[in-house]
Amino acid sequence: MKKFRGGDKLLHWYRTHRRDLPWRKTKDPYRIWVSEIMLQQTTVETVIPYYEKFLKRFPTIESLAVAEEDEVLRYWSGLGYYSRARNLLKAAKIIVDQMGARGRAVSLSNQARIWLCQSERIDWQQLPGIGRYTAGAIASIAFGERVPVVDGNVVRVLSRLFLIGSDPKSPAGQKIFWGLAALILPDRDVGDFNQALMELGATICTPRRPACLVCPVYDECEARKKGRQDLYPRLAKRAPAQKITMTAALIQKGDSLLMVRRPAKGILKEMWEFPMVEGGAERLVRDFGFRPIRALGSIRHSVLNKRLVITPYLCQMSRIPRMKSQWIHPEEIDRFPTSSMNRKILSKLL
């Protein structure tokens, strides 16, 4: 495999053209950690306001560690993939508990920083929600450790630069991409280099119509030389998304609406939502005893590999559901942990 000679060009491009993002203005491992967790499966544009709101409420790892799960979920509400928030809270508690137990004569923030940055103190990936990528991002960006990161953007850049045909999701492909990412690391400025690779994939080396003419490593790219950029990376075909038809009930009492809390197990566990069933309006009658009055159109929503088509109905109720329930004013819904799906449903009424 050829030697990569574009490192200096890539770093210069990144420092000149990188996006002005709030988590790039800090070396605080806690804030970098929060950003990396939020950015999983979520776009930068979506994350920014949530990141700022979350850190305003939980500015330190200690403030997060003592928080109740419901409050953390409320500040995460709308981002989706709520296990990320639960794992973030669990990991914060572990860090603060273990460092508090050490009883060092330094501030807890400094203890946490020391504990986080020294690899001999912990197997990073034993912390809930922290995998190899997140561990590498925090270590390299916050502390300058010479470790690689590999996400979807990096995979796309490397597969095109070096014409790698392996499926990046396969065990063999993972080994190749992580090994290559480690091989091309510079001796210094590793955090910037890793971010430069990710930034290149996000803004220039995009999945469709990459902007090759303005790419800082144009001369290095084997896929570009062969005119095969669009063929890389070579991804295995995904299973088709599962389409599900659902019906939601909007039941009014004065200015408030009935919401129920989901069970403690399964998808969106313990989140608040409008009463909902899989299938048509007749299921609202059978499962809840509600009487549908009028359909309010439909909304579409995606959860993992499921594509939901939801029809909200104005309903009348003869009995309170057995699930935990509460009458909630529409303006207060954001005070409860709830999915953005419910805001879409509510928009059909307002």
Look up tokens 């690689």; give the residue.
Answer: 148
Q: How far is CA 236 from the centre of its chain?
A: 22
252 in Cβ contact with 330 (< 8 Å)? no
Q: What's the angle, vertex CA 300, arms to CA 169 and CA 291, rounded to 5?
A: 135
Positive/negative CA dihedral, 280, 285, 288, 294: positive
The identity of residue 176, as a single letter, is I
Distance of CA 64 to the CA centre of its chain: 18
Contact 303, 268 (CB under 8 A): yes
Choose the catalytic residue: 36, 199, 220, 273: 36
Q: How far is CA 61 from CA 96, 130, 140, in A?
A: 7, 15, 19
Are 284 and 277 in contact, with CB atoms under 8 Å apart?
Answer: yes
Q: Which residues of 7-19 are buried (b: 16+ CB within 10 A; e: fewer)?
A: bebbbebbeeeee
Q: How far apart are CA 346 and CA 350, in angstroms?
A: 6
Q: What's the Cα-to-Cα distance from 327 to each of 195, 275, 331, rounded to whole Å?
A: 46, 12, 12
Q: Is 199 a catalytic residue?
A: no
DSSP 137: H
Residues 6+ apart with CB under 8 A from 30: 60, 61, 64, 112, 116
Provide the angle, in degrees to the nearest 10, between the axes of the packed helices 44-57 and 29-39. Answer: 140
Residues forming the active site: 36
